[in-house]
Amino acid sequence: MAKLEIVTYPAEILETVCEIVTEFDRRLVKLLNDMYDTMLDADGVGLAAPQVGIAKQIAIVDVGDEHGRIELINPVILEARGEQIGPEGCLSFPGLFGEVKRADYVKVRAQDRRGRTYTLEATGFLARALQHEIDHLHGVLFTSKVIRYYEREELEG
Ligand SMILES: [Zn+2]
């Protein structure tokens, strides 16, 4: 496993619509493992392939709850309900935090590292993380959804 370099904004790849994954091979497994290491090292709860320079529909999420490590390949949001407003950041925007409105519940369909399709239901913070990462795969950045940015003092407090 290896740590990958995280692409920071501005970069064209962060605003690119990513390609569907069709090959579930050893390179994909290695990429997922490396992305996971990179995310943990950066203290993140999610990371999308374009953030490591790869324009493919691959993302990982781990918010430290019972779901553990979630690997999302070609994910689609099937259902979204409710509303939550809360703080959000992004490894591609170091030090930037803003309040973002998201659905409170999502049902996601994705494929795992072997190409098997699964569905996942999530609420609260996990639902937020899933929406943030899936947005990345469509070139959508959280800054386009921020209601207001936090001041440095608010973050330190
Ligand atoms: Zn992000």
pLDDT tens for each residue of 72-97? 999 999 999 999 999 999 999 999 99
Indicate the pTM of the whole model.
0.96
pLDDT of residue 98 exceeding 70, the answer is yes
Report how far ligand 1's centroid is from the alpha carbon of 132 (Å).
6
> Which of these, 130, 135, 133, 132, lies nearest to 120 by C-alpha position?
130
The pLDDT-based confidence of 157 (bands split at 50, 70, 90) is low
Neighbours of 67 (CB within 10 A): 13
Out of 133, 151, 153, 154, the active site residue is: 133
User: What pLDDT, on the 0 to 100 scale, is given for residue 145?
Assistant: 97
Q: Give pLDDT tens digits for 29-39.
A: 999 999 999 99
Based on the residue annotation, tell me whether 133 is a catalytic residue of this protein.
yes
User: What pLDDT, on the 0 to 100 scale, is given for residue 1?
Assistant: 65
What integer is the mean pLDDT of 42-46?
97
How far, CA to CA in Å, does 67 sit from each of 37, 54, 127? Answer: 17, 25, 12
Report how far ligand 1's centroid is from the alpha carbon of 146 (Å).
13
| Residue 18, annotated as binding a ligand | no
Q: Where are the domains of the chain?
A: 12-156
Output the CATH code of domain 12-156.
3.90.45.10
What integer is the mean pLDDT of 47-75?
98
Report how far ligand 1's centroid is from the alpha carbon of 91 (Å).
6
DSSP type of residue 10? S
What integer is the mean pLDDT of 11-25?
98
Task: Output 2 or 124, whichever has higher pLDDT.
Answer: 124
> Which of these, 68, 74, 89, 70, lies nearest to 130 by C-alpha position?
70
The pLDDT-based confidence of 10 (bands split at 50, 70, 90) is very high
